Amino acid sequence: MKITVIGGTGLIGSQLVSRLRGAGHEVVAASLSTGVDLLTGEGLDQALAGADTVVNVTNSPTFDEASPDFFRTTMGHLLAAGERAGVRHQVILSIVGVDRVPQLDYYRAKTLQEELLRQGPTAYSIVRATQFFEFMDAVMSWSTEDHTVRLPSTPVQPIATADVVAALADVATAPPRNGILDVAGPDVFSLDELGRLTVSARQDQLTVVTDEKAGMFAAVEGDVLVAGPDARVAPTRYEDWLSTSR
């Protein structure tokens, strides 16, 4: 099978390219660095030539009100190029609960991306993942001042990127779902608890304080970022990942 990975040199994309090639597939890693520009469409026809499946793991450069325009433009170019190339399956990576957090610009933008895919000309699959283990440092940095980290008690069910990649690879090489697969880690934490686990494992000189108004995830109500009963539950536990990533 020939598969084009859009965003194929990033955190998720590079792992996905490696995994698919290891399974014997012909894979094109497409990104700005390889001459493919989703915002202009430049290089897309060449990158998609002969592809059976396209997996789009690109991300908006900002999480603000500019992000909907990014996804509107890039999905338009990608779907049109895919139709010209005869692509039979378009896959995107999204976020668990994305359509239940309209107060966040970025989540509205990702919801728009999903809707554009559903309305497009090609059979599709959407893989929604929970928050990545690897993003915890960034989440903590948003609300760190001096030696204090302020985090809300928002429930999350984080997942290792390697487990996200495994799910994407399985979906990309299977028939289109024309629907959604949720993937999540095995354990649910409150975000502040996750922060304390991180600080303890890394022996950082930081104190995590529960603050329901701190950071982006303070806007999230209830357990919308926790996967439902039909989700694919990944095996990697956060504590185990912490111990090996130190």
Q: How confident is the model at residue 229 (pLDDT cuts 50, 70, 90)?
A: very high
Helix (H, G, I), strand (E, B) or coil at 207: strand
The torsion of the CA quartet 136, 140, 141, 142, rounded to 10 degrees, works out to: 110
Please check the confidence at residue 111 and state whether its pLDDT lies above 80: yes
> Which residues does 77 contact at the CB level (< 8 Å), separation at least 6?
38, 39, 40, 41, 44
* Long-range own/partner contacts, residues 28-32 (CB < 8 A, 24 or more apart): 28/2, 28/3, 28/4, 29/5, 30/4, 30/5, 30/6, 31/6, 31/7, 31/58
What pTM, to 2 d.p., does this model score?
0.95
Work out the mean pLDDT of the chain and round it to a whole number.
95
148-151 sheet: strands from edge to edge: 144-145, 148-151, 207-210
Among 10-19, 23-32, 33-42, 211-220, whose mean pLDDT is lowest?
211-220
pLDDT of residue 125: 98
How far apart CA 74 and CA 47 sit, in angstroms, is 15
Average pLDDT over residues 11-15: 97
Map tokens 């929970």 to a residue.
130
> Is the Cα torsion angle 131, 136, 61, 6 positive or negative in sign?
negative
How far apart CA 182 and CA 184 sit, in angstroms, is 7
pLDDT of residue 34: 95
Helix (H, G, I), strand (E, B) or coil at 159: strand
Please check the confidence at residue 117 and state whether its pLDDT lies above 80: yes
Please check the confidence at residue 246 and state whether its pLDDT lies above 70: no
φ and ψ at 156, to 5 degrees?
-135, 160
> Which residues does 118 contact at the CB level (< 8 Å), separation at least 6?
124
How far apart CA 101 and CA 220 sit, in angstroms, is 6
> Is the Cα torsion angle 170, 244, 14, 95 positive or negative in sign?
positive
**Position 221: which residue type?**
E
pLDDT of residue 152: 96
Residues 33-69 pLDDT 10s: 999 999 999 999 999 999 999 999 999 988 888 999 9
